[in-house]
């Protein structure tokens, strides 16, 4: 699903503006799958699909595939709706340099939440 992230994010001018001060790469892990998301001034430059050999990233968001699927539902249940809620429940871990993650948390949340709209557009009703 993250392969369509660039189109979804880069087409959202408000989201790109929100992330305009963020440049870097972050890892999204939905065990056992991984993606490396490269951001350049708020625009998704590219998304690499794993397996990755020695990837370089600023921070990582790690959860199992089921937790991500619940997060990406068009209308997630309470507790599945937010990255910090998943961390609080012990279903997700943040790793690496947390300063750029926390400084750009609304942007990162917005980026990952764009996949919910894709679920609605594609007709998925998980």
**Cβ neighbour number for residue 2 with a 10 Å cutoff:** 22
The ranges assigned to domains in the chain are 2-117
Task: Report residue 68: phi and psi, to 5°.
Answer: -65, -40
Q: What CATH superfamily classification does 2-117 receive? A: SCP2 sterol-binding domain (3.30.1050.10)
User: pLDDT at position 126, please?
Assistant: 41
Q: Percent of the chain, pLDDT > 70? A: 94
Of the candidates 27, 37, 33, 28, which has an alpha carbon nearest to the alpha carbon of residue 5?
37
Q: Alpha-carbon Rg of the chain, whole angstroms?
A: 14
User: What is the residue-averaged pLDDT of the chain?
Assistant: 93
């Amino acid at each position: 699903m993250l392969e369509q992230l660039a189109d979804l994010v880069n087409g959202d001018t408000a989201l790109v503006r929100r992330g305009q001060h963020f440049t870097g790469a972050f890892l999204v892990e939905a065990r056992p799958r991984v993606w490396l998301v490269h951001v350049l001034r708020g625009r998704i430059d590219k998304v690499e699909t794993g397996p990755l050999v020695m990837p370089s990233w600023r921070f990582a968001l790690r959860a199992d595939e089921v937790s991500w699927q619940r997060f990406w539902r068009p209308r997630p249940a309470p507790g599945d709706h937010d990255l910090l809620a998943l961390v609080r429940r012990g279903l997700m871990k943040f790793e690496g340099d947390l300063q750029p993650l926390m400084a750009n948390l609304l942007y990162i949340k917005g980026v990952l939440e764009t996949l919910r709209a894709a679920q609605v557009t594609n007709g998925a009703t998980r």
